[in-house]
Structure 1
């Protein structure tokens, strides 16, 4: 009798474990440029650098109007093409701001981001990792080689916006996602996989203001993700790096990482 009871308990525990593991898939949506939406297996919504209405997204206005819920807004640095529609989305949804402390302070002071939605619980700095949404998400702050300024709501005055960065996002029962922000390749990228094996890397490839295809391929080689999605290209004429050039550069580097080229407004399941 005891053996039967033990077997039932074992089977029940295995069913619970399987259900937890397969509670849902993580969904990744690209809106063009560096703007992404992540939907976690338990339904939490994260928006990264949410310039939803960027020129590459023909459905930008409709997409922005359709965003009625968001839990977190992650902003890598203060430039207009990464802050994007964050303030409008925050005011509508009540989403909390995830950023470095200096950037958050600048966005509240000058950029119009609601102060009540930007606190120490969701602000950090490089080397720090936050546990958010009841443990559904962890966000680590990763440096970037770029710059960061914040434009005021009138689009006239420019203020210091702290240091630029990227995000390493660990989804419970889901993937680890590295959003590079705007950056050049830098050797400390080799440290990232020592702490977290990256499943998906969202890598800027446009050139001019960031690394282009060749340097981005080297960055992928350093990080070693399972999959890479190119971003921050084609939005403006000067961002002339292309996925085709990126594919060739990855091959030249001998990188076996799977390349997935998304289209604006496309969603994939991870």
Structure 2
């Protein structure tokens, strides 16, 4: 009888300990979310559940980010820098950040070559393992992220820094594009880069359900609110976050206009507008 009672108590203790461990593991898994920070224009920081850091088009010291220099200084750990095309407002602070952190460059082969030759990106951080082309995918960071290159309708040229161009002027930077980023145990994110809407966007959800779409809406150089709403209808993401607006007077498209255009098309995607410096969790 005593032995039976002791066994029952031990079993209860074991069950309680197992429950507590399960709850702790669940709480830890819940806490380890993918986070996204917007720095203005098309610049984002993506942090994976394990703490890997990806920067996308990191023009962090842009005119609408008053904390740009401090934000760059705070980036002491960066694993990958993704650059969609060769324009200055997308290359941004990438070279300085790469030199400070050792971050590898993710770009098309043509763009990577131009960034090394004309913008000063460290050559040993721009290898073939992180270069690709449209339709191709890269499994990086020990499989924690898979990045697929998506075309864009725009242009691309790399302009050497002032005084360093030797009279060359803008140099060929390959074709412009965007990125589809799949995070292991996390969301799938589509960064459009600079683009107009194009019908082949409708193919993306046939292969990958997009959780978050980062869509340019400014107009003038890219699609504006109306075109961006058409793009969202084609991609059908869970959430859309507008970008590439308001940095210059020419980028006049607004989130309010974008919201109205989405509603006019009956699009059910959630619109989430960020302020510069905002960080959100992507569940």
In the alignment, structure 2 segments of 5+ residues that lack a partner are 1-10
1:86-105 aligned within 5 A: 86-105=94-113
SS of the aligned residue for 1:87 comes to helix
> How far off its partner does 1:23 sit?
6.1
Aligned residue-pair number = 261
**Which residue in 2 is equivalent to 1:209?**
221
Mapped pair 1:179 → 2:191:
yes
**Which residue in 2 is equivalent to 1:134?**
142
> How far off its partner does 1:64 sit?
1.0
**Which residue in 2 is equivalent to 1:243?**
255
Mapped pair 1:124 → 2:136:
no
1:199 to 197, 211, 235: 211
SS of the aligned residue for 1:68 comes to coil
- Per-residue CA deviations over 1:177-198 (Å, capped at 9, x if unaligned) read 0000000000000000011100
Greater Rg over alpha carbons, structure: 2
**Inter-partner Cα distance in structure 2 for 1:56 and 1:188:** 32
**Inter-partner Cα distance in structure 1 for 2:28 and 2:105:** 28
SS of the aligned residue for 2:45 comes to strand
2:154 to 118, 126, 146: 146
> How far off its partner does 1:17 sit?
8.8
1:1-270 aligned within 5 A: 15=22, 22=30, 24-154=32-162, 156=165, 157-270=169-282
1:52·1:63 contact (CA, 8 Å) conserved in 2? yes
> How far off its partner does 1:61 sit?
1.1
More deviation, 181-190/57-66: 57-66
In the alignment, structure 1 segments of 5+ residues that lack a partner are none
**Which residue in 1 is equivalent to 2:3?**
none
> How far off its partner does 1:18 sit?
5.1
Structure 1 pair 20–169 and aligned structure 2 pair: CA distance change class (3 A): farther
SS of the aligned residue for 2:142 comes to helix
TM-score (norm 1): 0.93
**Inter-partner Cα distance in structure 1 for 2:131 and 2:31:** 29
**Inter-partner Cα distance in structure 1 for 2:275 and 2:43:** 12
> How far off its partner does 1:142 sit?
0.1
> How far off its partner does 1:154 sit?
2.7
> How far off its partner does 1:21 sit?
5.2
Aligned residues: CA RMSD: 1.8
- Per-residue CA deviations over 1:61-101 (Å, capped at 9, x if unaligned) read 11111111100000000000000000000000000000000
TM-score (norm 2): 0.89
**Inter-partner Cα distance in structure 2 for 1:207 and 1:221:** 18
**Inter-partner Cα distance in structure 1 for 2:35 and 2:60:** 17
